[in-house]
Chain A
């Protein structure tokens, strides 16, 4: 874990903190990709009976699509992919912690009071 790395990083390595990558083209392609995923998301609403997401499957499909969009923005647009790993650790710790505690909290409600909030 980056948090416990022992030695400060030598200054000579710091200049490339954001590594070079061919920017604008990647960005536009990423945006196109995000747009496409959004279109699929909306299709699940427009055609609810399509076999790929019929019934309760639609929840799983939508969550996966949402996660794909979420991490595409975070890793490309917020360039977490190209930045120091410590930043990923910081963000993931907040995200995972939030997901865990709130999921557990929702579980305590559902397990004990089925039906009322379902």
Chain B
């Protein structure tokens, strides 16, 4: 972080930057508390999603009601998966922008990420309503309960991510997100990418594998 080049800053601000970088990393491991905490949390989330995915795998063949093969709309889900995948690109571009001190681009990329995330969520809502219309209610079968709980949990994670991204944009607009706090963006980015990789897993295991 400190090694990121700051061409737009005054000398005093550069000193401040160095001082902050020093404070951030003045830890035994050389990793800031925040980043280490986020990775620990994400490691813990592996167990959470792992449990839900396992439950789904156990229950994916219903005794009654529509089966996954009948109900899934793969072209539609592929599109929304692609949208979420690309939101990871805009997210890293946002991190890269704030590390260069480019606040305009930071806001654009953060906004784009939030927008792509919102598109994904809208797709999920559309998908759920379509499924319910086709007779797959939450209580229909063991498959439906497991499917809605797993994808719903993921959707809640995406929604929380969107709210964090929007909050970042607002903070940046108010000038409360200077370069030396670029790690905040980076760490929310970690969360966002994690939610994306969980979906990569879900897309393959839940939707594509017959």
A binds B: yes
Nearest CB on A from B208, distance (A): 5
**B residues in contact with A48, CB < 8 Å:** 210
In the complex, the answer to whether A38 meets B25 with C-beta atoms within 8 Å is no
A86 to B28, CA, bound (A): 12
* B30 CB–A CB distance under 8 Å: yes
Asked whether B31 lies within 8 Å of A58 as measured between CB atoms, the reply is no
Instruction: Evaluate whether A94 and B43 lie within 8 angstroms (CB atoms) in the complex, with A14-B25, A117-B58 already known.
Output: yes
Cβ contacts under 8 Å, B22 to chain A: 11, 14-15
Bound form: Cα–Cα A58–B204 in Å: 11
The number of chain A residues touching the other chain, given as a range, is 35 or more
Contact count band on B: 35 or more
Which of A38, A42, A91 contacts B43 (CB under 8 A)?
A: A91
0 or 1 for each of A59-82: is its CB under 8 Å from B? (1 = yes): 100110110011001100110000
A3: min CB distance to chain B, Å: 9
Q: In chain B, residues 1-53, which have Cβ atoms closer than 8 Å to a Cβ of chain A?
A: 1-4, 21-22, 25-26, 28-31, 35-36, 39-40, 42-47, 49-51, 53
Contact B197–A106 (Cβ < 8 Å): no
Task: Report B's interface with A, CB cutoff 8 A.
Answer: 1-4, 21-22, 25-26, 28-31, 35-36, 39-40, 42-47, 49-51, 53-54, 57-59, 61, 74-75, 78, 81-82, 85-86, 88-89, 91-93, 96, 99, 189-190, 193-194, 196-197, 200-201, 203-205, 208-210
